[in-house]
Amino acid sequence: MTRRRSASAILLSMILGVLAPPTIAAPASAAPVKAQSISSIDDRIRGEMTEGGLVGVAAAIIVDGKVVWRGGYGLADRESGRAFTTDTVMNIASISKTFVGAAMMLAQEEGKLSIDADINTYLSFPVRNPNHPAQPITLRQIATHTSSITDRWPIYAARYHFGRNSPEPLAQFLKGYLAPGGADYSPASYLPAAPGTERDYSNIGAGLAGYIVERTTGQSLDSYTQRRIFKPLGMNSTHWRLRPDSTAPDATLYISQDGIAVAIQPYGVTTWPDGGVHTSVEDLSRFFIALLDGGKGPSGQVLRQPSVDDMLRLQFTAASKPVNVDIAEKNSGLFWQTKFNTKYVGHGGSDPGLKTEMLATPDLRTGIVFFTNTSGAETEKAYVAILRALFEHAEALRQGHHP
């Protein structure tokens, strides 16, 4: 008989196990498109949801700057029977980092910061790798996960607060974690390697980048992104962190274990810029289209073309790359990266109770936005199968086949 774990044990395992970028197998190369694959997209998604125990799924396909297909399946909330649609709002985990990247580039456009300057220029507390105290850390390094700032998992995981936003201010945590003498400081907050020489995915580094945007613009990251990104793109349902007073509740999140989907409380995290955006497939598609189209929004340029080019440009080359990176398997833009062994580019998100992807083909002509409000060890095969189905359907639509 399969041994079942308690809900609290499931949560603990998820917190310690899924917050780093997932390592899941790449979708197999798409087969030649057949009429059957086009007409069965709904059946394929529903079948994988059943197989993987996914409660709700929504997705959109973007081709040449336009949403050409959208679909919602299952439930946003099982108790009330509320359907999961492309307008359903939920937290998107690490895809939030792409908004930090865009905000960082906007602040640079305004002359508020330089992504290649020593970040200590912008901080009231010192951030230096104690193993390499003479080496400055830059925002470009943070955004490519080469800053040498590393996540100490017991400290980071303890900053998840179920049922509420974090009571600890972001600045207080960052100073306590990164600066000598801080409450959580340790030399182990930094890699032995020098900044710029190794890649190590850092959520806390992303939180620091968001805080630097606040310091340099004189505005909260919430306000700055609302004014410069969300509003111009018509992302009217998008916000940071939990909003208990919202008239449109977020999707309920579930952890699937042994065929049982367990609902969990909504949560906030102290380093909220690294994963605190709540949005819908419809809203995120608007942002994704702007990135894929050189920063253009429906009412004009939101981000300048050179900024978008720098953000999406793969920064590592054979002659200049972190020592632990094989560029045939991984490369990085600014809070933007290759996925599935460079088959796609974009960003994904994994947190307790959810999985999200915002992926494009390398030519940026085809994009996929995918949300599910369910996570668990048994769900990853379903994620990959659904992504494959979506990209196959996208290719069919590009070839002019219509269901």
| DSSP output for 116-142 | TSBGGGG-SS----TTSTTS--BHHHH
Q: Which CATH superfamily is domain 7-398 in?
A: DD-peptidase/beta-lactamase superfamily (3.40.710.10)
Distances (CA, A) of 1 to 254, 256, 311: 23, 18, 50
Burial level of 395, CB count in 10 A (0-12/13-18/19+)?
buried
Neighbouring C-alpha atoms within 13 Å toward the C-beta of 39:
3
What the block records as the tokens of 88 is 């359903």
What pLDDT band is residue 19 in, cutting at 50, 70 and 90?
very low
- pLDDT given for residue 319 in this prediction: 95
pTM for the model: 0.91
Which amino acid appears at position 164 of this protein? R
Residues near 306 by beta carbon (within 8 Å), at least 6 away in sequence: none
pLDDT at 3 over 60: no
Contact 348, 94 (CB under 8 A): yes
pLDDT at 20 over 80: no
pLDDT at 4 over 90: no
Reduced to 3 states (helix: H, G, I; strand: E, B; else coil), residue 21 is: coil
Reduced to 3 states (helix: H, G, I; strand: E, B; else coil), residue 381 is: helix
pLDDT at 400 over 70: yes
Contact 396, 38 (CB under 8 A): yes
Residues near 272 by beta carbon (within 8 Å), at least 6 away in sequence: 165, 166, 170, 207, 210, 240, 241
pLDDT digits (tens, 9 = 90+) for 204-259: 999 999 999 999 999 999 999 999 999 999 999 999 999 877 677 899 999 998 88
Alpha carbon distance 102, 294 (integer Å): 12
Residues near 85 by beta carbon (within 8 Å), at least 6 away in sequence: 58, 72, 76
